Amino acid sequence: MTKLSVSEVNGLSDDQFEWVFRNVIELRSEAAASVLDLRPFTDAPDLCAAFDKYLDQLSVEGKLEVLKSHPDLAGRLAAKGELTQESTDEQRSAGLNELTVEQKAIMDFNNERYKNKFGFPFIICARENKIQSIIEGLKNRYNNTKVQEIVIGINEVKKICKLRILDIVQSS
């Protein structure tokens, strides 16, 4: 896919903009709708900053909704082939489609434990991690408070969002 220039992004109709950026924040097309009025963007980092600002301005409940929209890593949706294309590619890049039986059991147990404690799935930028660091993060972050995990989770969403935007838009 040919990446869009920033001037092409700025020239998209509102509907086109919403469609192109509908999943840079997992299953949150309303993020694109709220960011489109901030055009024109000067460059890809400016566009990323607009989505970051959207996330920062959400209420705690809004942030929880964003976190809850993410799938479990190597979870049921992945096993059934029901992830978004972006999530499928990201989990594959981390090797989560090649877990051993033991690793899968560890992931399933810790994902469930984490979700039971915090009320949302464990979120980490899979493209910046591999299986072992994801498993370690899942175990270590369980010891955090819910407030800490909301902050960390939203920061991980920002990393995911940035990489998804850079898949669409030329960086210079």
pLDDT reported for residue 171:
85
126 and 76 share a domain?
A: yes
Q: What is the mean pLDDT of residues 137-144?
A: 96
Q: Which of 28, 63, 70, 162 is catalytic?
A: 70
Active site residue 70: yes
26 and 111 share a domain?
A: no
pLDDT reported for residue 72:
87
42 and 83 share a domain?
A: no
78 and 108 share a domain?
A: yes
49 and 71 share a domain?
A: no
Instruction: Provide the pLDDT confidence category of residue 143 given band limits of 50, 70 and 90.
Output: very high
12 and 30 share a domain?
A: yes
86 and 149 share a domain?
A: yes
Residue ranges making up the domain that contains 47: 6-65
- Closest CA relative to residue 3, chosen from 159, 119, 164: 164
Q: pLDDT digit string (tens) for 37-96?
A: 999 999 999 999 999 999 999 999 999 999 999 988 888 888 888 888 999 999 999 999
Domain C-terminal end among 22, 42, 65: 65
Q: pLDDT digit string (tens) for 89-137?
A: 999 999 999 999 999 999 999 999 999 999 999 999 999 999 999 999 9
Task: Work out how many domains the chain is built from and give that number.
Answer: 2
* pTM of the complete model: 0.95
Domain C-terminal end among 15, 42, 65: 65
Q: Find the CATH number of the domain harbouring 124.
A: 1.10.3330.10
Sign of CA dihedral 66, 57, 152, 48: positive
pLDDT reported for residue 115:
96
54 and 85 share a domain?
A: no
CA distance 51 to 74: 26
